[in-house]
Every structure is written in C-alpha cells, then in structure tokens.
Amino acid sequence: MTSLSRAARLLALPALALAAGTAQARLSPTEQHIVRAVAAEQDWGVALLERLVNQNSGTRNIPGVVKVGEMVRPELESLGFTVRWVPMDAVERAGHIIATHAGRPGTTHMLLIGHLDTVFEPESPFQRFERQGDRAKGPGVGDDKGGMVVMLMALRAMQAAGTLEDANIEVVLTGDEEAAGAPTEIARADLVAAGKRADVALDFEGLVVIDGQDMGSIARRSSTSYIITATGQSAHSSGIFGPGVGDGAIFELARIIGRFRADLPEPNLTFNIGLIAGGAQASLSGNEGSASAIGKTNIIPAQAVATGDFRALTVEQAARVQARMAAIVADHAPQTDASIRFKEGYPPMPPTAGNQALLDRLNGINADLDLPAMPALDPLKRGAGDISFVAADVDGLAGLGPDSAGDHTPEETVDLASFQRQAQRAALLMTRLSGEAGKR
C-alpha cells in the first residue's frame, strides 16, 4: 500500500476512530495522528498476519523461516530501514533479520525484538490461519507473527505521522527464538551486539492479560535445560539394596528427583522433569526429545536418564540453584553413580529500576489514551525470551505484542482488537523516546 493511499484512508476515518475526547486533549496533534494512523492499519495488519501464519516457519524448517523473513523484509525496507539477512548455518538455524533506521543523531537508540519462527514444525497438523470474528487462530498468530505485525503497524503509523524520520531504531528478528541454536555465543551474537548499542529494548512478544487487565512485563526468568544420568549395579531383583548391589539406577534417579522437590523450592524458581526412562538399558534420542528403555521386573536397572529445566529470576539465583542441584546429584545412594549436565539456555531478565521506569513511561501513555495503568507482571506468569540476552546491557520492556491465548498449542488464538491498542502504545512510546537524548 502506498503512503498516499494510507493518507487517503486516514482522512476518511470517522471521528469514532479517535481516542476519547479527554485523551485527545492530552495528546499532541502529531500523537493524535498516530492514533488515527494505527486504526487505519488494522485491516492491513490482519491481512499480513494471515500471510505470515500460512507460511510454516517451525524453527527447524529453515526454508520456511527464510520465506517469512522474505515477507517481512520489504515491509521494513519500505519504511526506510536498511535490512540485512544474517545466516546461521554455523548453528544449524535459518538466520536473523537485522534492520536499522538512522534518525536524528544523539537521540534515543531503540532496539525492537521479535522472532520469525514458531514451535510448529511442518509435520504439525496445526498449519493454517483461521478468522473467528474478532479473534484469529493459527500457528504463531500471537507468538510471534502477531508481535511482528504489531511492530510494523506501529512503525507505519509513525511514518504516516512523520515521527519515524527522526527515530534511531534497530530491529532484530531472530529465526530461532523457540529453540536457539548452539552455541548461543554465535546464535545470539548479533542480538547481544545490538543490545550494547541501544538505550532501550522493546520486545514484541505477547501481551499478558489477567482478569481483563493488561500487564506490563519488566522481568523474564531464565531457562536452563539439564540431563541427569544415573547408573547402578545390574543384578537379580532379589538382591536389591543388599551389599555389593545397592539401590539400582532408577532408585538413584528417584532419589535425586525427590531431593530436588524437597530441597530446591524458593521464590521465583521453578524446576521440572520433562522426560524419564530407566531399565537394563536406557538412552535419549539424538534430539533428546524422546527416550527408550529395555528392562524386566526381576532385573535391577543399570541405567536411568531424565531431562528437565529450571527457571530463575536473577543470574545469582540461577548459579546458586545450579550448584545445589549438582550437590544433590553427587550425594549418591549405595552402589550407584550419577551426573548432571547443564545445557546452554536463556539468561534471566531481572526486574530493575530502569525497566520499571520504562513501564512508568508506558503508563503515562495509557493515561493519555484513557486506558488503565498496567501493573508489573509476576515473572512466574511468562517464559523466557530473547530480550533476556540484552538485559545485562540495556533497560527493557517486554510484552508489546498482541493479547493471545493457547500459545505453543493447537489452540493458539489472538484477540485482533489488541493489535490496535498495542500498536498505539508502542508507536507513542517510540515517538516520545525518539525526541529525547540518548544515554550512550
């Protein structure tokens, strides 16, 4: 759509498309233009969402992720961004979009974060966009194709109102957020570098709504996966627990898991065992998504394996919990052995004063739009995300995408009305930040 046709549509909007009169009085004429411009983009946004969702981009579907990137790229280029594709062959992933928009020197440098991939691979039966009145259903309709659409709607509204021109913005759309390539030193190098250049980071994953209340996300917990391997002495079951035989691998693994449950709990921590197998022989599949075991009731099991993850709010908490888990594993039952291997994961985004200040700024915008203030979301209410990779370097705010439900399941749906609300908030926040001096 040309900028001329968009402008024509804006002139045709009825007065009802504007914010309430009291809110208009608190918004500058330019900001009122942004509010109208976002409303004008709603049909465009839904149409783009349908195209994106109907292209499968499961993380390991590399051609599919590339195709979604090819759909998004011209939208950013039409807004004046310089766009490059960074391939991630080295970590067996598709790659990332990095887009930069040079604005007025010395003003706030904003980093916008989203992702191209979904959890639904080509073999999933959940593949198509379906409109359901004011809601839509489909793979990634909220996480995070809906988030990318909200981002683009906000940027297009800024362009229509003339505020994008002066804005310094860098967009990073990763192609493997749902299953980051390893090592993350490579897979997230470009995102980390962008965070070091930025003054603020705005993450366009989904908005969390609790009892009708929009929530602001100033913290996200880490996510670290682990594998526990236990071994024991194989023998006839009649000798279990006896001298020279001991407890066997499954009881050793059960001891570890039980100790985790008893000894680890503390505020803001969760830990899970997601897969377990044991027997005379037990092993994980190559992708560690399934396990196999062979055994009999009268054979003491020699092997047991389990996989899981834990989530912590701070780097210090994560380190403390990891050390405690390792100590529990090392406290072996008789005639057994065990080890735990921690895998690369997502770091935490702890709550900080800077993050809270960003939410306060957003709540100022909510007041100007006659929207309720957004309380800070309990970090237990959402999972890990890419913004955490830059949390050590820059203040951030997450949850700027649409209101969705059933993410990561075949019931993933999105509230289409939330696109307009979220894009208005984001466009006004970016416009106000773009007029301020940068911190770096």
**Buried residues in 54-83 as b, exposed as e (16+ CB within 10 A):** ebbbbbbbbebbbbbbebbbebbeebbbeb
Q: Which residue has the higher pLDDT, 6 or 160?
A: 160
Quickly state the pLDDT bin for 438 (edges 50, 70, 90): confident
**Could you say which of 342, 361, 379 is where a domain stops?**
342
User: Does 140 map to a domain?
Assistant: yes
Stretch 201-225: mean pLDDT, rounded?
A: 96
Residues 178 and 56 in one domain: yes
Residues 213 and 322 in one domain: no
**Could you say which of 273, 308, 342 is where a domain stops?**
342
- Report the SS3 class of residue 131: strand
**Could you say which of 342, 364, 386 is where a domain stops?**
342
CATH code, 50: 3.40.630.10
Kindly tell me if the per-residue pLDDT of 253 is higher than 70. yes
Domain that holds residue 305: 224-342
18-22, 167-171, 282-286, 362-366: lowest mean pLDDT where? 18-22
User: Among candidates 256, 259, 263, which has minimal Cα distance to 306?
Assistant: 256
Quickly state the pLDDT bin for 25 (edges 50, 70, 90): low
Q: Please state the three-class secondary structure of 16-52 as a single string.
A: HHCCCHHHHHHCCHHHHHHHHHHHHCHHHHHHHHHHH
HSE-CB for 333 with a 13 A CA cutoff: 22
For the chain, how many residues are written?
A: 440
Per the CB < 8 A criterion, the answer to whether 223 and 311 are in contact is yes
Quickly state the pLDDT bin for 17 (edges 50, 70, 90): very low
What pLDDT is recorded for position 440? 72
Kindly tell me if the per-residue pLDDT of 9 is higher than 90. no
Residues 268 and 129 in one domain: no
Kindly tell me if the per-residue pLDDT of 323 is higher than 90. yes
Q: What is the residue-averaged pLDDT of the chain?
A: 93
Number of domains in the chain: 2
Kindly tell me if the per-residue pLDDT of 411 is higher than 70. yes
Backbone angles phi, psi at 342, to 5 degrees: -90, 135
Cα(440)–Cα(428) distance, rounded to whole angstroms?
22
User: Does 126 map to a domain?
Assistant: yes
Kindly tell me if the per-residue pLDDT of 164 is higher than 80. yes
